[in-house]
Amino acid sequence: MTLNVLKQSTINMLQQVANLVQQIDDNHYSEQLDLLSKNTIAKHVRHILELYVQLMAGLPQNEINYDKRERNLLLEHNRNYTIDFINELKTTILNLETDLNVLQLRTLIQNDELIVNTSLERELVYNIEHAIHHMAIMQIACNHCFKYINLDKNFGVAYATVQYNNTCAQ
């Protein structure tokens, strides 16, 4: 049950990102924005996707290492490729099955490489929260610089905030 909720949440979030990528002009997608300290919408999209790729890549070995990700620069420069990439990633996530094996997360903190126990479910939660954080940044940029883009009202909003807002509206 938990895995299904996390998979569906991930699919929904990735679809929101795909909708943004579909709407944004090619030049705007990779435009360096002062508002983002010269970063781009495309770099935020790439970063979100690459963490999911690292999670999927590490599952067969039961070891996840987000620090070792390869930067797929095509995700920053080709919107059609990015949309196809997102659709393939959604299919991969939909096909995930529960695995009770303990995963190892290898990460660099300060100058130390640490290994901590984790699980697929915990890493999906992390990736969802991480994606929402970057989506919030992209939302600010779109609202400020690219007003023609129509984002979901909850794009980049944490689930707890959505729930709180819904409760207040009643």
* Local confidence pLDDT in tens for the 170 residues of the chain: 799 999 999 999 999 999 999 999 999 999 999 999 999 999 999 999 999 999 999 999 999 999 999 999 999 999 999 999 999 999 999 999 876 678 999 999 999 999 999 999 999 999 999 999 999 999 999 999 999 999 999 999 988 888 888 888 77
Residues near 10 by beta carbon (within 8 Å), at least 6 away in sequence? 52, 90, 93, 124, 127, 128
* Amino acid found at 102: V
CATH homologous superfamily for the domain 2-169 = dinb family like domain (1.20.120.450)
Beta-bridged to residue 34, according to DSSP, are none
103-109 and 112-118 strand pairing: antiparallel
Whether the CB-CB separation of 57 and 70 falls below 8 Å is answered with no
Spatial distance between the Cα atoms of 64 and 119, rounded to a whole number of angstroms: 10
Q: Is the pTM of this model over 0.85?
A: yes
Reduce the DSSP state of residue 25 to 3 states and report it: coil
